Amino acid sequence: MPGTFEPLPGGGAAVALDDVEISIIRSLAVQLLELIGPGPAEDAPDDPLAELFAEGPSEPPADPVLRRLFPDAYSDPEGTPGPQQAEEERAHSAEFRRYTENDLRAGKRDNALAVIRSLDGLASAAGEGGAVLKLSPAEAQQWLSALNDLRLAIGSRLEITDDDDTDLLYRLPDEDPRKPMVMAYLWLGGLQETLIATLLT
């Protein structure tokens, strides 16, 4: 089971992680949290209706990683749109973003926090060399979403846009400064694949 998720009786998933793997995933999840940003301020009103209709940003984030995590909702899949169509797409995307990005950020924040909390609980119970992480079905879904976000973030930093880029990663020389990030990207991809397979069984 090392490095691969396996199903648990009654649902959920389990994976054996060593101390280094626990530390890497936790560190990446913390960095993702910092990138996504804090939640609502403590002095925010407690009115859930007001929070539901609170407006978010209308412009795409400046950071390319955040643009990957929170892409525009409207774009022309066939290629470059004409000027009028492009303007309409920008207006629709801005409107959609204004009313959805806050919720998307909250969901991604919750998923990253779930990963950190489960790893913190695992680390406190782990013996020498690591432990077996056991996730409920709901926790497994949060992990799946967080692993996807981590890979999107790392892939954006590595400027991966398609499968051909991924193939090139396998051929990077060991002295390439991107190599550690590439290894993390590929390893997280393996974890994600086995978790998907486990949840589909």
Task: List per-block mean pLDDT (blocks of 10 residues) for the chain, which spans 201 residues.
Answer: 81 92 95 85 54 63 86 63 66 75 90 96 69 94 97 91 74 86 92 94 81
User: Does 76 fall in a domain?
Assistant: no
Using DSSP's 3-state secondary structure scheme, residue 186 falls into: helix
Is 110 part of any domain? yes
CB 130 within 8 A of CB 18: yes
Counting the structural domains of the chain, the total is 1
Whether 144 maps to a domain, the answer reads: yes
Tokens, residue 39: 């939640």
Do 76 and 85 form a contact (C-beta atoms < 8 A)? yes
Provide CB contacts within 8 A for 44, sequence distance 6+: 51
Domain for residue 90, yes or no?
no
Q: Which residue matches tokens 């999840």?
A: 29
Query: Residue 180: inside a domain, yes or no?
Result: yes
H runs (alpha helix) in the chain: 19-36, 48-52, 64-69, 83-125, 137-157, 163-169, 179-200
pLDDT at 128: 63
Please state the pTM of the whole predicted model.
0.81
Does residue 135 sit within a domain?
Answer: yes
Domain that includes residue 12, residue range: 6-39+104-200
